[in-house]
Structures are given as structure tokens and as C-alpha cells.
Structure 1
């Protein structure tokens, strides 16, 4: 989705959101979205997964991904640090975006829940960063030493239940996970990618798949062509045998 490059940062970001088989069969648009903004040497990246039961979830996911990425980038431009974001600035930005989403719903004769979406994202500075997470999906920070910091999905008491920005208890469910070291890469994904992009129990990225994808993208000089290849990979019919869900994968590689 949206991407604004203020100046060369060393980050190369590839993202794709594609409809799953169940939505393709029914002619329903993809209800996932992604966005990123580069601010100097920092990166803001967001992935949203609209609720399948919500009337306008594809619009909610697009609006929240784009607007939240822009809001956090604005906070960085105004001098906010990663610690500031952790201590309240990030939650404040999410509250502002939620308010704007509610105004959008009012203007279209809808209710906030019609635009329900999960959120998983990261703000990564030159040396430290932060995951922010509401609902399912996964975020992975790849460390220089080969280790990984993983922001895991959160689900409710019942199967297929998760948490959305539109929910009344969204602040209680918002999770922040510090990234205390420099990283060589960031990966964000909606839950549709997890069965083939994550290993068992989401313990790590699934190397046979993610390693091949990242190695290929690391050799791509053209971001647009790289994103087209990523989308083509996510649309491979073999993925339909694993999941019928929409799929979003955002991969940020530090040069």
C-alpha cells in the first residue's frame, strides 16, 4: 500500500496482499492491507487483517494501515524516540487513528465495527525498535547473529476469535515488544501466511520458504518487480491447499 521515502535509508521493503482462495471463489476482495514509511534511518511498517465478518473490513484494513503508518512517521519527524512510543505516544497515535476510523464510519452511515481490523507493526530505528500488536498475525525481527525476536499472535477464548482496533477493549489488548538490538530484517505477516511462513508453534520463520523468498528479494534491484514476484508466490495454487485465507507478507531488508 502506501510508501513514502523521505530520503535513502538503506531499507528495502517488499510487500504484497492477496486474496485467499475462499475470497477468490466468492468474488470477495482481499481484506488484508499493508503500508510502510521510511523516515531518515528509521522504518515504520504495518500489516492489517480485516475481520471477515465485518461489512467494510477491507476498507478498515486499508485505512488503518495507511493512516497509522503516516501517524507514527509524523511522530518520528517531530522527534519522538522509540522509548516515547513505548511510553504512550504509540497508543496515542492508535487512538487518533481509531477516532478517524469512527468518523469515517459515521460519514458513511456505518458503525465502527463494520471496519474491524487487526494490527501488527513495527517501528525500527537505527539501533533499537518496537513491535506493536493487536490481534493475530506475526512480527519477526531478524538479528545480526541469526536470532529472532517474535511478536506472537493473540486470540480470544474461542476458535477464530481475535482482537480488533474497533473493539472497546483495544487498549487492554495492545501489546508492545521492544527490539533492543539492531536487526538485519523485519517480517510482518497476516495469519493467512503463518501456516507456511512460520515453523511449528510459530517458534521461528520457516527457513525453507522464507529463506528462499528473502534470498531472491535480496538480489532484486527493482522493488516493483520484487513485489510482483512476492504476490505471485502468495497466489501460488499450492498455498490454497494450506489455507483459504487472505495473505499479506511484508519483508524489510536492511542494506
Structure 2
């Protein structure tokens, strides 16, 4: 498995003197990878800490008791549903612990801790081919990469050239209700979990919402109606996959891309994390 990621400070955050409020973490288990990206709420000063708490909780819990690749769909569905709730609960427990310690340090009479101070959105994925299991709270998004030759009749170079992109975890559409954060009331009831079985799996890419302008196309690019919603930019994802396969997973070109003029269309922080199936 080739695992690589990068995060850069958004231009608006840089101008305002704010640090990067995104976080990402990955665990490479050999035949399996666990990915997590989190986007701290820009209006909260301590949201960067909340984002780090989120990816730590996700990676810790999603590496435990992963079903085997041969397991039935029902097993995978039950497992990720249970893990999704536990990720939210663990985030809230850790956040309450941090804020509780702050309240004690503030001395007698300090007001109750506001969990929203650590507000963050999260997207996480467990990649164990041919399965991918997703957990999501908020507006981060995820793209599945496949090749056209599950039977293995073409070369690896040809597979890279034929990569296909599928936006399986889209960001909220314009005008949709504001998505929840992990700190939102009832977040355990609003966590989204699902699994994908894909024998032609080539990779998985997670991104924070600041990357939407860089990585997603308007449907008009493919002569589709606006109702079709955003579509993954095949040039971005195909180029990313080809570059990382060619350099063995060196993330520096990805960091340069996120820092370049093409990414200046958004002032938000940008974070991209991916796992590519070797030979896939």
C-alpha cells in the first residue's frame, strides 16, 4: 500500500495570522491502510486541537478488529457502524477531558466547558481491498479510484492511465443545512458510515472541504446538468496517483500542488490524504 498525505495553511488563514486548522493521520498495516482527515471549525480558536483529537481517535479505533477481506457485507456494515459511533464518543470523551482540565486550571467559579471550542469535521476510511469502509461527520469528502482491468490483463502503466474516479463521499451541496461537527449535539446519531466492495479498487483519497475547488469539477465540464452535483477532477486524481506510484509515495509533489497558484482559489486550509493499492 502506498500512503501519502499533505496539508497546507490556507491563504486566508495565513493573512489572518491563523495556523492550519486541518489534521491528518494514516496507519499503514501492510495489506490495509487506515486514513483520517479532520477540518477544524475556522471560527474556533482551538479547533486545530479538536482536529488532531479527531484523527487520533479515528485511527486508534479503526485499526482494531478489522474484518477479514473474505467476510460478508453484513459483517463489514455492522463493524463500521459500531466503530463510527465509538469514534464520535472517543472524540467527545477526549475533548471533554481537555476542556475539563482547562476548567480546573481556571479555578473555582469557572463556567462549564464548551465542547464546541474544539469543533471539527472528520472523514476516515479503512482500505482493505476489495473493501473500503467510511466514517464521516461534517463536510470532508472522499473519492474512490478504480482501474478498468480487474482481471489483470493489462500492465500497471496502462492501469495508471485508465484510472477512474468516483466521488463516493461528496461534500454537502450548496444550500444544504449546515453539516454537524463531532462536537455537535446528537453527533453520534448523525455520523455516516458505509462500505464499498470494489474488486477493481486502485486507491482512496480523502480531503477537507477547502480542496473542493481544486479537486472537483462542476458538472458542466462534462456537459451535465447542475443537478448531477460535483464530479471528481480526473486530471487531479489521475495525476496524483501516477505521481505517487512513480516516486514511491513521496508527498512533496502533493504539498507543492496544494501550495501552488492553482490552489489559491480558496482561502481555506487544504489537506489531501490517500492510499493507493500497489499494482492496482
With 88-97 and 182-191 compared, the bigger mean Cα shift is at 88-97
Distance in 2 between residues matched to 1:192 and 1:121, nearest whole Å: 17
Distance in 1 between residues matched to 2:101 and 2:2, nearest whole Å: 37
Deviation at 1:213, TM superposition (A): 2.4
Distance in 2 between residues matched to 1:234 and 1:105, nearest whole Å: 33
Residues 82 and 125, structure 1, Cα contact 8 Å, conserved in 2: no
Say which of 12, 15, 31 aligns to 1:22: 12
Partner of 1:103: 97
CA RMSD between the two structures: 2.4
Q: TM-score, normalised by structure 1?
A: 0.84
Distance in 2 between residues matched to 1:107 and 1:207, nearest whole Å: 47
Unpaired segments ≥5 residues, structure 1: 1-10
Partner of 1:8: none
Q: TM-score, normalised by structure 2?
A: 0.77
Deviation at 1:87, TM superposition (A): 4.0
Residues 88 and 187, structure 2, Cα contact 8 Å, conserved in 1: no
Partner of 1:3: none
Unpaired segments ≥5 residues, structure 2: 104-112, 149-163, 220-228
Residues 81 and 194, structure 2, Cα contact 8 Å, conserved in 1: no
Alignment of 1:148-227 (within 5 A): 148=166, 150-154=168-172, 161-182=178-199, 183-200=201-218, 203-221=230-248, 223=249, 226-227=250-251
Could you list the per-position Cα deviations for residues 69-121 of structure 1 after superposition, in whole angstroms to 9, with x for gaps in the alignment?
1221134399x963342342331233123212221221123531110000111
Distance in 2 between residues matched to 1:147 and 1:235, nearest whole Å: 23
Distance in 2 between residues matched to 1:189 and 1:149, nearest whole Å: 11
Residues 118 and 136, structure 1, Cα contact 8 Å, conserved in 2: yes
Residues 132 and 175, structure 1, Cα contact 8 Å, conserved in 2: yes
Q: Report the 3-state secondary structure (helix = DSSP H, G, I; strand = E; otherwise coil) of the residue aligned with 2:209.
A: coil
Distance in 2 between residues matched to 1:205 and 1:194, nearest whole Å: 9
Partner of 1:6: none
Could you list the per-position Cα deviations for residues 204-254 of structure 1 after superposition, in whole angstroms to 9, with x for gaps in the alignment?
320222222221111013x4xx222211210113321x1111100112111
Say which of 55, 67, 71 aligns to 2:61: 71
Runs of 4+ in structure 1 off by over 4 angstroms are: 155-159
Could you list the per-position Cα deviations for residues 125-181 of structure 1 after superposition, in whole angstroms to 9, with x for gaps in the alignment?
23212111111121111123336251112379678x331000112123211222122
Pick closer, same or farther for the CA change 1:235–1:149 going to 2, 3 Å. Answer: closer
